[in-house]
Structure 1
Amino acid sequence: MSTFRGIWVALATPFRAGEVDFAALHTLVARLLEDGVAGFVVCGTTGEAAALSHEEQLAVLDAVLQWVPSQQVIMGLAGNNLRELLAFQQEIQRRPLAGLLVPAPYYIRPSQAGLESFFQTVADAASVPVVLYDIPYRTGVRIERDTLRRIVRHPRIAAIKDCGGDLETTLALIADGQVEVLTGEDLQIFNNLCQGGAGAISASAHVRADLYVRMQRQVESGDLAGARATFFRLLPWIQAAFAEPNPAAVKAALALQGLIVDELREPMQPCAPATVERLRGVLAALAD
């Protein structure tokens, strides 16, 4: 069984004047570690990896590995050119890591057999555990339940980031016990924990990560009423965090807290002024 339990943060990549802001990244990582998060996913969707070059992605990874124990760092690995993806995988795997977060190849929409072959190829080439990222609304292809259950039998696939939107599939994966099931839908974190899931890879946990960690620990100790209260305290923020395409609202909230500059890579855009005002009110309430 894998060790991908708890609240993992899908780490944003701070920018300043078009470049990665490593000082802000360090500040952000240090604060989240103090809040007790299980670890970080570097260069995933929230990290705007699609807008970063491979060189920039490796620089971000190397920086985080200077500050965080390697067993707490998962690296995103995405692409639809299998040769290039495997070459980049080998480059990444020269570093010590907890694992790789791998979605289905986007845009080309392979068949179920193609998906199974893709994940087997990546897992066969893996020297670290693989976290399968099931997110059909970004990749354009759904991994059917039976396909997914076959794929995760691979000994190198240790966990799944579940954004598939199918409760029956989620429950089947938890019941099978082949992999740790981490939700990637932040509104489902409380449900995931109560159903026996492993936790979350969360974008919204950038803010008040201590409360997310508390909720997880409350469920583990059997304090479901306390965990429910913690979740409902977080709920207005979780809803606001995805009011605009991720990570726009997360970055705006972090900027309001003075942790980063509110800057994204094109074609991503900063939040509208009305959303920023909403975030200001939500953050003030959450601080009480």
Structure 2
Amino acid sequence: MSFFSGIWIPLVTPFHAGRVDDSALGALVRRYADTGIAGFVALGTTGEPATLSGHEQDKVLSTVLAAADGLPVVVGVSGNDTAQVVARVEALNALPIAGVLASAPYYIKPSQAGVIGHIAAIADASRTPVVLYDIPARTGVELELPAILELAAHERIVAVKDCGGSPDKTRSLILDGRLEVLCGDDIHMFSTLCEGGSGAIAASAHLFPERFAAMARLLSEGRLVDARTIWHALVPFVRAAFAEPNPAPVKAALALQGLIRNELRPPLTAVSKGVESLLEKLVTPMQGTETSHAP
């Protein structure tokens, strides 16, 4: 099994009265460390890094690394100034991280040549593996298949978090075989894993992580029917977790479990009453049932 496989949790950043809640974040990480997940992503989209100061980002990463209990931690790096992102990666080289998750530059919508140059510069600067992050819905620019295949030739680019929205591109990347393909669009993780994807970076796995991990493990063992039973039970929650912009539904669900406060940084807002009610109906019956789901 490859290093970048299984279920990875892209951690939320808990807040308390507008400040980063280091205690709640550390408790979350420790809670997940023995659930069978493969690792963590700190400061990914779900962690609201765009609203965190540099000091806050450093505190978040320090808290996650201290609490991870040996599980690998990948760090999200994003921005539209290549020089600034490269400087950030160079600073991260001094830390015991497992890799960086690098997206295309956002807002300015560069050409594919510009995207390739941006990510290649990150990979050149990094001493740890690089996971490409294809998420055009947020960056405004797609990592097109030829660009990804060109970047796959770089020795430090080893995986891709696939939120590109194209099953054909996903399949092509799996068939190419040079990059580990991690599903980043949670509702498609089962089909991606069945086609040969290596795992998922799944915000919805904040809730019931044992079930997600068991599902991925069963698929890796070829136990399709058992894995499908778990997946079908998870689908309603996965859908609800993205009923409104991420990470608002996940934070609401975690707050319902008493694990964090239901706070986000503006301009993000808490979920509507309707989605909160839906999450309560889904989460409450499943609480306290996190036992093994492998027959």
TM-score, normalised on structure 1?
0.97
Displacement of 1:130 in angstroms is: 0.3
Cα distance in 2, alignment partners of residues 78 and 62 from structure 1: 18
Corresponding letter in the other structure for 1:17: A
SS at match of 2:46: coil
Aligned to 2:39: 39
Cα distance in 2, alignment partners of residues 153 and 177 from structure 1: 12
Cα distance in 2, alignment partners of residues 16 and 27 from structure 1: 14
Instruction: Provide Cα deviations, 1:55-101, integer angstroms capped at 9, x if missing partner.
Output: 11111111111111565100010000111111111112210110000
SS at match of 1:115: helix
Cα distance in 2, alignment partners of residues 90 and 147 from structure 1: 24
Cα distance in 2, alignment partners of residues 275 and 115 from structure 1: 36
- Conservation of the 8 A alpha-carbon contact between 1:233 and 1:286: no
Instruction: Provide Cα deviations, 1:1-32, integer angstroms capped at 9, x if missing partner.
Output: 95111100010000001111111111111111
Q: Does 1:23 align with 2:57?
A: no
Aligned to 1:238: 238
Cα distance in 1, alignment partners of residues 64 and 39 from structure 2: 11
Please give the root-mean-square deviation of Cα atoms over the aligned residues, in Å.
Answer: 1.2
Q: Does 1:201 align with 2:198?
A: no
- Conservation of the 8 A alpha-carbon contact between 1:78 and 1:102: yes
- Conservation of the 8 A alpha-carbon contact between 1:194 and 1:219: yes
Cα distance in 1, alignment partners of residues 194 and 92 from structure 2: 34
- Conservation of the 8 A alpha-carbon contact between 1:2 and 1:158: no
Residues 69, 127 of structure 1: alpha-carbon distance in 2 compared, 3 angstrom cutoff: farther
- Conservation of the 8 A alpha-carbon contact between 1:6 and 1:37: yes
- Structure 1 gaps of 5+ residues are none
- Conservation of the 8 A alpha-carbon contact between 2:82 and 2:121: no
Cα distance in 1, alignment partners of residues 182 and 135 from structure 2: 12
Aligned to 2:293: none
Q: Does 1:262 align with 2:262?
A: yes
- Conservation of the 8 A alpha-carbon contact between 2:99 and 2:128: yes
- Conservation of the 8 A alpha-carbon contact between 2:36 and 2:214: no
- Conservation of the 8 A alpha-carbon contact between 2:211 and 2:230: yes
Equivalenced residue count is 288
Q: Does 1:274 align with 2:285?
A: no
Displacement of 1:164 in angstroms is: 0.4
Corresponding letter in the other structure for 1:4: F
Deviates more, 1:100-109 or 1:168-177: 168-177
- Conservation of the 8 A alpha-carbon contact between 1:70 and 1:96: no
Aligned to 1:160: 160
Corresponding letter in the other structure for 1:182: L
Cα distance in 2, alignment partners of residues 233 and 59 from structure 1: 36
Aligned to 1:108: 108
Corresponding letter in the other structure for 1:29: V
TM-score, normalised on structure 2?
0.95
- Structure 2 gaps of 5+ residues are 290-295
Q: How does 1:1-288 map onto structure 2 within 5 Å?
A: 3-69=3-69, 72-287=72-287
SS at match of 1:40: strand
Corresponding letter in the other structure for 2:153: R
Instruction: Provide Cα deviations, 1:165-185, integer angstroms capped at 9, x if missing partner.
Output: 111111111111111100001
Corresponding letter in the other structure for 1:257: Q
Aligned-pair identity in percent equals 48
